[in-house]
Amino acid sequence: MSGTTKGVLVTGAQQGIGAAAARGFAAAGYDVAVNWLDDRAAAEALAAEVAALGRRAVLVQGDVGTAAACAALVDAAVAGLGRIEVLVNNAGIFPRVPFLEMTEAEWDRVLDVNLKGSAFCAQAAARHMVAAGIRGTILNLSSSAVRGAVFGVHYSATKNGVIGLTRSMALALAPHGIRVNAIAPGLTDTAQPRHGNSEAELAEMAKALPLGRMGRPEEIAGLMTWLASDAGAWVTGQVYHINGGAYMA
């Protein structure tokens, strides 16, 4: 770290991988803008954890489903921290629905949050970085569901879209020294896989993985902080599959 404190904005940080990312970046010396949607108590508890690590935390409430909301939450993060070197596009939703029953409204909502939200949060953050002369990092969350999801056709479509978005943004932003990479987690110990699966079913799914267990959110966060560090300075436009060996690409 340099003498200037760095800032990170983590979207969807009130729980799971997003919360782990906030903790991981705080431990790495970053001040953290914690974006939350509907659980202020969880966001405040996370901010207290960041403070306990000796870093500042600002709470930024907002839904990433519109371009205007994305711009507003990036503006709020910059106002609170002074600058952001890293954006973690973590916010996402996965409402399960059989394909033959999926409505246009359900399709639109998932694409708005998962894909449009990632694009326009990145655009707003990149505009700030370019204006401030920051050679920053954008990290987009994809998923092992790029291989397909029986009850998540809309979700799988967005997570494949995130990969194309990542590669194209990496090319567009390289002249500004901004690196863009994607992380595609597999079965991770968060609330998300528990939707529709019992603990026994999760245990069986975990045992079927080559490494025999679910991933931990902090393991995903560890890859994020490495990609944002000087050690990852020559890495852009890449997709990192972190899934216990379930999918080897």
Catalytic annotation, residues: 143, 155, 159
What is the token pair recorded at 195? 């939707």
Q: How many CB atoms lie within 10 A of CB 130?
A: 16
Q: How many CB atoms lie within 10 A of CB 12?
A: 24
Q: What is the dihedral of CA 106, 154, 87, 30, to 10 degrees?
A: 90
Phi/psi for 92 (5° steps) reads -170, 160
As a whole number of angstroms, the distance between CA 158 and CA 23 comes to 26
Q: Is 28 exposed, middle or buried (0-12, 13-18, 19+ CB in 10 A)?
A: buried
Q: How many CB atoms lie within 10 A of CB 179?
A: 24
Residue 164: alpha-carbon gap to chain centroid = 16
Strand partners, 185: 242
Tokens 């600058």 — which residue? 83
Angle between helices 153-173 and 117-132 (to 10 degrees): 20
As a whole number of angstroms, the distance between CA 32 and CA 19 comes to 11
Integer CA distances (angstroms), 42 to 13, 18, 38, 47, in order: 9, 12, 9, 9
